[in-house]
Structure 1
Amino acid sequence: MKTRNFTAIVYREDDMYVAECPEVGTVDQGETIEQAVANLREATKLYLAEFSLPEVTPRYITNIEVSYA
């Protein structure tokens, strides 16, 4: 069994937390951040069991400051 680290982006939408894995394209949700991430982990695991993932380079996440009117 392979093990790999992926990015999880979590944000609140209405009354749920949404978790996304941009490298794979999986998305899931939960009532808490922890539940959303756990659901995303399971969804990603199921996806990778069915479909192969090409090698991707690591993603780097940073903040940017943007001035706008």
Structure 2
Amino acid sequence: MRKALVHLTSGEDGWIVAQCPLIPGCISQGKDRAEALANIQEAIQLCLETRDEEGATWSLPRDVEVLEVEIAA
């Protein structure tokens, strides 16, 4: 089983916006964190299935390293 990085942010309407930066345009949302995560998981799966069916040129990297860096405020 592969894993994908997901970003969660609060939307202006109070919903949680979820996106997968590894897949262009793969964005979803939910009323809460759990729903947003379930919805983005489904969106990722659909994006991968569509990519395979349409022969898209992008692909998921095998390994992704996620780090935090300090920035000046």
| TMscore range, shorter length | 0.7 to 0.9
TM-score between the two structures when normalised by the length of structure 2: 0.74
How many aligned positions are there?
A: 66
Q: CA RMSD in A?
A: 1.7
> 1:59 aligns to what SS in structure 2?
coil
Q: Percent of aligned pairs with the same residue?
A: 23
Which structure carries more helix by proportion? 2
- Runs of 5+ unmatched residues, structure 2: 53-57
Q: Distance in 2 between matches of 1:66 and 1:45?
A: 34
Cα offset, 1:65, TM superposition: 2.2
Moved over 6 A (4+): none
Matched, 1:60 2:65: yes
The residue that corresponds to 1:42 in the other structure is 42
Which structure carries more strand by proportion? 1
- Runs of 5+ unmatched residues, structure 1: none
Structure 1 residues 37 and 55, CA gap change in structure 2 (3 angstroms): closer
Q: Distance in 1 between matches of 2:32 and 2:48?
A: 24
